[in-house]
Amino acid sequence: METACSLGFVSFGVAPASVPPFYDELVRWLTEGKHGDMKWFERNLRLRRDPSGLLKDCRAVVCLAYPYSREKPCTPDGFSASRYSEPLLDDYHVRLRKLAGEVAGVIRRLHPDSRSRVCVDSAPVMERSLAAAAGVGFIGKNTSLIVPGVGSCVYLVEILTTAPLASTPPLPESAGSCGECNRCVDVCPAGALEAPYRLDARKCLSYLTIEHRAPVNAETGRIMGSCILGCDRCQEVCPFNANMNSVNICLPSSIDFLNMDDAAFNARFGRTALARAGMRKIKENIEAVKASATP
Ligand code: SF4
Ligand code: SF4
């Protein structure tokens, strides 16, 4: 796995291609409707349970974590976006697929008869569960995958493979756990972390400002603070995440965002992760925050 390190992955491991841990919790979460209108979670549930449905004869899942910047992307007039969006770089889905493809190439060279499939949010895979099973990190009370020594600012990638790779064990509790800490649950402005490890996505600002089809309402605008895309608060308070204070003024002002047309947005952000939320959604978010600040 020297290749994975040299490509910038900060943690990796191998999970067995069996039912991921926390599958039953996923089913319960869906039954309770806490995924909101992210209906894709409901589809292909069978595949989330059994990776061999995604790759015939799958024997192992290589799980990899790749870090993203801790600098908060900001506008010159004081608004910000979630760090994962990395608005100066190409969409991480594209970048990581390429990097993981190189790791898959190594697996193929070592096991010439094997087949592999790279997944970067592109298939129904229980990525955090598998990463925890593989010892890449542990799942925190904020439901993020936390890599000890690195934190939770990581993208997750999976390589399903028919190669007979030995599994790596989950981390022992002594290597990393939340312990008595409850900061993320306490800080959540939306009450979305209803209890440790239990997220109601319908209340979560990340969901409401990115995935949810309808515009955010006035109450949501009020608790968004200055963040116009996503929300990092339950990560910012986490003691496993150090150095999250610096900002990078790399976004246009809120006025410039609101005045942008499709062509201008696509020219500047069409290749970035911001394009997934889309210009209309970002404008609606800005308007909601501004409206909540108006007396
Ligand atoms: S992202 Fe924000 S709203 Fe969502 S759980 Fe974390 S703190 Fe709460
Ligand atoms: S803030 Fe505390 S409780 Fe929440 S994920 Fe981090 S260590 Fe765990």
Residue type, 292: S
Entry field: residues in the chain: 295
Q: Is 238 in the pocket of ligand 1 (CB under 6 A)?
A: no
Tokens of 111: 């096991």
For ligand 2, atom 5, name the residue with the nearest CA.
140
Do 157 and 80 contact (CB within 8 A), yes or no?
no
Clarify whether 113 is annotated catalytic: no
pLDDT surpassing 80 at residue 1: no
Q: Which contacts qualify for 89-97: CB closer than 8 Å, 24 or more apart?
A: 89/272, 90/271, 90/272, 91/271, 91/272, 91/273, 91/275, 91/276, 92/66, 92/68, 92/120, 92/155, 92/273, 93/120, 93/121, 93/122, 93/273, 94/271, 96/66, 96/120, 96/155, 96/157, 97/122, 97/157
Tell me which H or E stretch contains 25. helix 23-31
**Average pLDDT of 40-49?**
92
pLDDT, tens digit, 9 for 90 and up, residues 125-157 = 999 999 999 999 999 999 999 999 999 999 999
Tell me, what's the pLDDT at 295? 62
Q: How far is the CA of 270 from the centre of ligand 1 (A)?
A: 26
For ligand 2, atom 4, name the residue with the nearest CA.
184
Tell me, what's the pLDDT at 122? 85
Q: How far is the CA of 8 from the centre of ligand 1 (A)?
A: 27
Per the prediction, the chain carries an average pLDDT of 96
CA separation for the pair 1, 103 (Å, rounded) = 8
pLDDT surpassing 90 at residue 294: no
Q: Is 234 in the pocket of ligand 1 (CB under 6 A)?
A: yes
Active-site residue identified among 77, 121, 200, 262: 121
pLDDT, tens digit, 9 for 90 and up, residues 50-72 = 999 999 999 999 999 999 999 99
Tell me, what's the pLDDT at 48? 95
Tell me, what's the pLDDT at 293? 82
> 6 or 294, which is more confident?
6
Q: How far is the CA of 242 from the centre of ligand 1 (A)?
A: 18
Q: Is 241 in the pocket of ligand 1 (CB under 6 A)?
A: no
Q: Is 118 in the pocket of ligand 1 (CB under 6 A)?
A: no
For ligand 2, atom 6, name the residue with the nearest CA.
238
Q: Which residues are near ligand 2 (CB < 6 Å)? A: 140-142, 178, 181-184, 237-240
Looking at the CA of 187, name the nearest ligand. Answer: 1
pLDDT, tens digit, 9 for 90 and up, residues 238-271 = 999 988 989 999 999 999 999 999 999 999 999 9
pLDDT surpassing 90 at residue 95: yes
The pTM of the full predicted model, rounded to 2 decimals, is 0.96
Domain ranges of the chain: 2-68+91-175, 183-293
Q: How far is the CA of 184 from the centre of ligand 2 (A)?
A: 6
pLDDT, tens digit, 9 for 90 and up, residues 203-226 = 999 999 999 989 999 999 999 999
Do 60 and 165 contact (CB within 8 A), yes or no?
yes
Q: Is 205 in the pocket of ligand 1 (CB under 6 A)?
A: yes
Tell me, what's the pLDDT at 243? 86
CA separation for the pair 106, 101 (Å, rounded) = 9
Tell me, what's the pLDDT at 2? 83
pLDDT surpassing 80 at residue 282: yes
